[in-house]
Amino acid sequence: MAFDIVDNATFGNCPECGDEIVLKNTTREKVTVKANQVHERGGSCDRCADGSTHFEKQARHQILQWLGPVEFKKHVAAVIEPQNASHAVVTLKDDRSAKIFRRGESSRHLPEEIDHVFTHSFLDLKRAEKPWKK
């Protein structure tokens, strides 16, 4: 029984994180199964379909706290943690991006890291005013 091997099958880029969805050196049957999975999920990769990582969720929450919900929706396009990385990447809707490092890669805790990144990389964005902290 001979298997029909496919060297490289690509299913486009994930609409959530932008990663290319690829299978390499696999059978046609597996390519068909993967194509159906990707189609059913609306084009999302396995990682995005399975959910965000803990650090990615923390970074998103801290950015939301820093900007406020209205500015977050207005400016932030994505917060993702690339596979096997020690940082998350925040991308704005105007295509600017910056890395947010984990504790250990940076000497700062996450809230201070978010503050540092936004005050140095995105000078036009201001921290949300908290009326109860005045």
| Cα–Cα distance measured from residue 85 to residue 80, given in angstroms and rounded to the nearest whole number | 10
Q: How many structural domains is the chain composed of?
A: 2
**pLDDT score for 48:** 74
Residues 40, 72: one domain?
A: no
Rounded Cα distance, 43 and 111, in Å: 33
Q: Strands (DSSP E) along 20-70, which ranges?
A: 20-27
Please state, rounded to an integer, the average pLDDT across all residues of the chain: 85
| pLDDT tens readout for residues 60-96 | 889 999 999 889 999 999 888 887 778 899 999 999 9
User: How would residue 52 be classed by pLDDT, with cut points 50, 70 and 90?
Assistant: low
- Kindly state whether residues 23 and 38 are assigned to the same domain: yes
59 shares a domain with 113: yes
Give domain status of residue 120, yes or no.
Answer: yes
Question: 133 lies in a domain?
Answer: no
> How much is the pLDDT for 132?
64
| Co-location of 70 and 121 in the same domain | yes
Helix, strand, coil share of the chain (percent; to 5): 40, 25, 35
Do 68 and 42 share a structural domain? no
Question: Using one digit for the tens of pLDDT, what is the confidence trace for 90-115?
Answer: 999 999 999 999 888 888 899 999 99
Annotate 52-69 with b (16+ C-beta within 10 A) or e (fewer): beebbebbbebbbebbee
Can you tell me the mean pLDDT for 40-69? 83
12 shares a domain with 74:
no
Give the residue numbers spanning the domain of 83.
Answer: 54-128
Residue 124, domain member (yes or no): yes
Give the integer Cα–Cα distance in Å for 72 and 128: 10
